[in-house]
Structure 1
Amino acid sequence: MTKLRAALQGAVEKGLVDAAKVADLERHLSKSLALPAGSVADSMLSSPPDTEAPRFLRGFHDVLISIGILILFAGLWGLGNIFVITPAIILLSEILVARQRLALPAVVLTISAAAVTWIAGLVILGDYVDADTSLGLAAYVAPFPAVLGLYALRYRVPLAVALFIASCLALATMLVFALLERVFGVQHFITSYPFLLVCILLLSAGGLFAIAMRFDLADRHRISRSADIAFWLHLMTAPALLYAVLSFVIYLQTGALRVTPESWQGDLALPIVFVVSCLMLVGILIDRRAFATSGLVALVVAVIGILKEQQLTGDLIVFMALAVVGIVVLLVGVGWRYLRQRVLELFPPAMAEKLPPVA
């Protein structure tokens, strides 16, 4: 089955087979040739093709070029300032991204462009904008959609598109906060209305997740640029959605936004485990491992809280929690394909067929 799938994937890359018909063709050939499906143990322990293989790393040549970029920028930073690096980013992007289409250097240059935008904002706006207000934060975020939008339009880097979308949503959220400060007549909306704050953050994270799914569902076989954009969007969405939900749960339990590790223990430990488990289930359903890894820190802290409730003390609690979470991660990682098969069986076929097929 793995060889058949690999052969069909190669046919798709060469344009011999339509990507939308790969799953149906694979099922037809498997049934016609009576290929063995394998046992449950085989499906869990065999090595399936990675549906999230990073396409931004194509070889050590890209790694070498990326290291050179970072060393060059470090030198330029010491010789000049942040504005000396800006023309270097543009020049290198024209050579390495627009012409040579190097994937990892494109990621490095995109992150560099975002970092330069942030530092330039601090330098230019630092003496004129109050970062403690929502409008001030919006002023710092405002350059990002413009810079990243132009970069994505010129160089078509998936990460740049994802950062552009995320920055637009962040700017819209900050402007909503600023508007509500005017409506309610308060100076700091974030501290004055914590419950409304977590609700808006939850809606923003949900909106980012919906956009990521829009790109993901546009290419369920993950062979196009939409899948690459969805990969980066999910990488941003997973922690944002996790901690927005956790903040909401913490506020409902405590009446305050106490997102310290101590607040995640005691009565909050089990709800946190439930939230992290639900997001892991979402990740399994949509075949995105970012949702299975984003909550590991919160899960470790929650397990520590559960162990403390069992009257266990000492430094060994931390190592016990790490061992428990490590076992959970290994079980989920090894049995990913089998778990996806079982989860997808719980949904109607019409819905399951819109999601990525089980690899």
Structure 2
Amino acid sequence: MYTDDDLTDAVAAGILSQDTATAFRDHVSARRHTPVADEEQFRLITGFNDIFVVIACVLLLVSVSWIGGAATPLLGALASAATAWGLAEFFVRQRRMALPAIVLLLAFAGNVFSAGLTLGGMVAAGRPDQLFDNAPGVIAFASLLAGAATWLHWRRFQVPITIACGAAAAVACVIALIRATIPAVENAMTPLLLLAGLAVFAFAMRWDASDTTRQTRRSDVAFWLHLLAAPLLVHPVFLSLGVTDGNVGIPQAVAVVVLYVGIALVSLCIDRRALMVSALGYVLYAFSALLKQYGVVSLGFATTALLIGAALLLLSAFWQPSRALLIGQLPVALQRRLAPVR
């Protein structure tokens, strides 16, 4: 079974021309009666061997971390990170296995971040200016270390999720530095998260705009960035509406509907569903709580899920016609930066 990345590699190696690869993609798309760009594809698993390798990698990484941690937590984290890198040399760089690539990247970045926390704590304990007053400074140091490590990982392996991990590390580092230098900002985390979400979303759109036909690895990078941006954008907004407090009334429910419709329109424009999926939990919770207040206790969640599920399936069935109608209202300059309607 050949993947889209295999076609891209064949074009890069000169085995196929770009026109031939594009014609082949269009042929497969026509046979499936579904546009390739609309499928929002990304590589996750190519076979059960991916799962087998992931299980073995997790067992090995946990064992290495455990054994190294018996001496010192720093050694355990560094040993596990080094092991994840070494495994990636074979399973990612040579075998090009998608799921192991994701797991090994997360293990590498997570262990580097853990090592940074441990090392930062040791530095703070030695009181070199208390490393930006301990906790925030330690987190900023660990995030900076993890961000640098993910950049090196990207340069070596080009795993699409790496950019999202680096962006997450950058967000954590900036917010921690702000908290370390301006302690009063701790009460303003909601707008900070929203600003971070907007920045990551803009970064994702930059990657999307570089591959509007979604035929290269850049589209996969944008997909993971959108998954990161979605909760950063959605959570602060719904939090400010008081949805998470449990006291949901008619005004909050109306606001949730209006907001979710707005999110759906943005998702249609950019042809990405991550924002809608991220906000879905808040919508289900809000209307379930509202129905419970009006006496629909046992079937509140089921009724809400039925209505929303039916609406989402209807939207999915008419996704491209809805996009065509919406995109047609946008300026031509903006249309050129979005995924084409097919």
Which range, TM-score by smaller chain? 0.7 to 0.9
Q: Which structure 1 residue ranges, 4+ long, deviate > 6 Å from structure 2? A: 129-132
In the superposition, relative to structure 1, how do residues 93 and 290 fare at CA in structure 2: closer, same or farther (>3 Å)? same
Q: Note closer, same or farther for the CA distance 1:227–1:178 as it changes in structure 2 (3 Å cut).
A: same
Please give the TM-score of this superposition, normalised by the length of structure 2: 0.79
Q: Is the 8 A contact 1:158 1:225 kept in 2?
A: yes
SS at match of 1:54: coil
Structure 1 position 241, deviation (Å): 0.9
Q: Secondary structure at the match of 2:206?
A: helix
SS of match in other structure, 1:354: coil
Alpha-carbon spacing, 1:139–1:279, altered in 2? closer, same or farther (3 Å): same
Higher relative contact order (CA 8 A, sep 6+): 1
> For residues 14-49 of structure 1, what are the alpha-carbon distances to aligned partners after superposition, in whole Å with 9 as ceiling and x for unaligned?
424299x98xxx8xxxxxxxxxx9xxxxxxxx6444
What TM-score does the superposition give when structure 1 sets the normalisation length?
0.76
For residue 272 of structure 1, report the CA deviation from its aligned partner: 2.0
Deviations 1:63-105 (A, max 9, x none): 3322321232234344443333233212112222233332222
Identify the residue that residue 201 of structure 1 maps to in structure 2: 193
Q: Is residue 2:164 matched to residue 1:162? A: yes
Q: Is the 8 A contact 1:269 1:305 kept in 2?
A: no
* Shift in CA distance, 133/259, structure 1 to aligned 2, threshold 3 Å: farther
Q: How far off is 1:340 after superposition?
A: 1.4
Question: Which residue is equivalent to 1:109?
Answer: 104
Structure 1 pair 134–80 and aligned structure 2 pair: CA distance change class (3 A)? closer
Confirm or deny: 8 A CA contact 1:283 1:289 kept in the other structure.
yes
Q: 1:231 aligns with which of 223, 243, 254?
A: 223
After TM superposition, list the pairs within 5 Å mapping 1:69-88 onto structure 2: 69-81=57-69, 82-83=76-77, 84-88=79-83
- Against the structure 1 CA distance between its residues 156 and 72, is the aligned structure 2 distance closer, same or farther, given a 3 Å change threshold? same
Q: 1:293 to 1:204 in 2, by over 3 A?
A: same
- The amino acid across from 1:61 in the alignment is N
Residue number in structure 1 paired with 2:235: 243
State the alpha-carbon separation in 1 of the partners of residues 137 and 99 from structure 2. Answer: 35
Distance 1:136 1:348 in 2: 46
| Contact 1:270 1:302 (C-alpha < 8 Å) held by counterparts | no
Instruction: Quote the Cα distance in structure 1 between the aligned partners of 2:211 and 2:64.
Output: 41
Q: Report the Cα distance in structure 2 between the residues aligned to 1:315 and 1:132, rounded to whole angstroms.
A: 48
- 211-220 or 46-55, which deviates more: 46-55
Separation in 2 of the partners of 1:159 and 1:94? 17
Q: Which runs of 5+ in 2 are unaligned?
A: 70-75, 126-130
RMSD: 3.2
Corresponding position of 2:154: 152
CA separation in 2, counterparts of 1:98 and 1:131?
41
Letter of the 1:292 counterpart: M
Q: 1:131 to 1:242 in 2, by over 3 A?
A: farther
**Pairing 1:284–2:268 present:** yes
Q: 1:171 aligns with which of 170, 173, 176?
A: 173
Match of 2:56 in 1: 68
The verdict on how the C-alpha distance between 1:269 and 1:259 changes in structure 2, with shifts beyond 3 A counting, is closer
Q: Which runs of 5+ in 1 are unaligned?
A: 1-5, 27-36, 38-45, 251-257
Q: Alignment identity in percent?
A: 28
Q: Distance in 2 between matches of 1:302 and 1:97?
A: 42
